[in-house]
Structure 1
Amino acid sequence: MHALVSLIDRITGATGVIGACLVAPLIIASCYEVIARYVFGAPTVWAFELGYMLTGANFLLGMAYTLREQAHIRIEVFYQFFSARTKAIIDSLTYVLIVVPICSWLAYGLYEYALNSYLEQETSGMSAWNPMIWPFRITFAIGFATLVLQAVAELIRAADMLYHGDEPKLVVELGTKTSQPAEGV
C-alpha cells in the first residue's frame, strides 16, 4: 500500500507542478496584453481566452495537490477538537461517500465532454482567435481524476491510521506531511 500511496502522491505532485507552471505564461500574457493595449493601442485577440484557460487549468490541476498538502478549507469549529482516530473516521466517510463517487462521476463526464469537443473540433467562439477548446476541457477531467486518486490515497492513510493507531505509517515523502520529526527539533 505504501508504494501505491507514494505513486499517487508523485502523480498528484506532478500535476500540481504543471498547474503551478501555468502561472508564468499567464503573467507574461497578461503583461503583454496591458502593454499592447495601453502603450501601443493594439490589444491582442488571444489574451483574454488564454488567460481564462490558463487560470482554469491552474485551478483544476492544483485541486489534488491541495488535498495532498491538507490545504483545503474545512470547518474546524468541531473537527479540531476530535482525536486523530475520530478525524480518520470522518475523513474516511467523506472520501467514500462524497469525494470519490462524485469526483469519479465528474471526471468521467468531463472526459466525455472533452472527447466530444475533440471529435467535433469545437472552437471557443469567444474571440477572433477562436482556439480549439478540447485541450482546456481535458484539464477538467485530469483535475478531477487526480483528485479521485488523491482521495483514495487519503482514504488509505486514514484506514492505516485507524488500523495502526495515532501514529500514521504511510507518509508523503515529498510533501509537508510526515510522521517523523524534523531534524533539529
Structure 2
Amino acid sequence: MPKPIRVFVRYVDLINKWIGRFAMQLIFVLAAVLLWSTVSRLVFGVPVNWALEMSQFILSAYYLLGGAYSLQLNAHVRMDLFYSRWSPRQKAAVDAFTILFVIFYLGVLFFGGWSSTEYAIAYKQKNYTSWAPLLWPVKVFMTIGIFLMLLQAISNFFKDLAAARGKPIA
C-alpha cells in the first residue's frame, strides 16, 4: 500500500483508539447520573426530571463514540456460516468487499446526521419534555461518532485489501 494510505490507517486507528478509550469511561458518568437520580428520589424525595434524558444522551455518546473503536477491534457481531472455514486472505477479500456496503451506509447516515445537526443548531431545537434540553450537543456527538465510524470503515477497507493481496498493513 502507498505511504499516504498507511499513514491514514495509522492515524485513524490511533484517533479511534483514544476516543474509544475515552468513550469507555462514559459508563461511569452514566452510572453516576442514574445513582443520583435514585438517591434524589428515594432519600430526598425529590425526583429529578433531567436524569432519564441525560442518561439517554450519555448512552448515545457512549455507543456512537465507541462504535469506531469496536469496528477497529472487530468486536462487532458477525454471522458465521462459512467465514471460520476460510483462509485469512479469503476472509480479508470478503471483508474488503462487504465493508463497501458499510461505507455507503455510514456515508448516507453521516450526511443525514450533518443535516439534522445543522437544523438543530440553526433553530435551537429542543426536546419536547419538561426539561426541554437543547438537542444540538447530542446531535454533534452523533455526527462525530458516525464520521469516526466512516473513517474506521475506510481504514478497515485498506487493511483488508492489503491483507487480501498478501501484504498486510502492520
TM-score range, shorter chain: over 0.9
Choose which of 123, 141, 144 in structure 2 pairs with 1:142: 144
Structure 1 runs not aligned, ≥5 long: 172-185
Q: Which residue of 2 aligns with 1:33?
A: 37
Q: Which residue of 1 aligns with 2:114?
A: 111
Deviations 1:110-153 (A, max 9, x none): 011011001100111223x2111111012221111111111111
Q: Which residue of 2 aligns with 1:102?
A: 105
Aligned-residue identity in percent: 28
Choose which of 132, 135, 142 in structure 1 pairs with 2:134: 132
Deviations 1:74-108 (A, max 9, x none): 01231111111111111011112x11111011011
**Structure 1 position 32, deviation (Å):** 0.6
**Scaled by the length of structure 1, what TM-score is found?**
0.85
In 2, the alpha carbon distance for the partners of 1:45 and 1:28 equals 15
**Structure 1 position 17, deviation (Å):** 2.4
**Structure 1 position 20, deviation (Å):** 1.6
Between 1 and 2, higher relative CO (CA 8 Å, sep ≥ 6) is seen in: 2
Aligned residues: 166
Query: Match of 1:95, as an amino acid?
Result: I
Structure 2 runs not aligned, ≥5 long: none
In 2, the alpha carbon distance for the partners of 1:107 and 1:11 equals 18
**Scaled by the length of structure 2, what TM-score is found?**
0.92
SS at match of 1:6: helix
Query: Match of 2:134, as an amino acid?
Result: M
Q: Which residue of 1 aligns with 2:95?
A: 91
Choose which of 147, 156, 159 in structure 1 pairs with 2:158: 156
In 2, the alpha carbon distance for the partners of 1:144 and 1:7 equals 17
Q: Is the 8 A contact 2:72 2:156 kept in 1?
A: yes
**Structure 1 position 60, deviation (Å):** 0.9
Q: Which residue of 2 aligns with 1:51?
A: 55
Query: Match of 1:82, as an amino acid?
Result: W
SS at match of 2:71: helix
Q: Whose helix fraction is larger, Structure 1's or Structure 2's?
A: 2
Q: Is the 8 A contact 2:72 2:152 kept in 1?
A: yes
Choose which of 60, 77, 80 in structure 2 pairs with 1:76: 80
**How big is the alpha-carbon RMSD for the aligned residues of Structure 1 and Structure 2?**
1.2
**Structure 1 position 42, deviation (Å):** 0.5
In 1, the alpha carbon distance for the partners of 2:21 and 2:134 equals 24
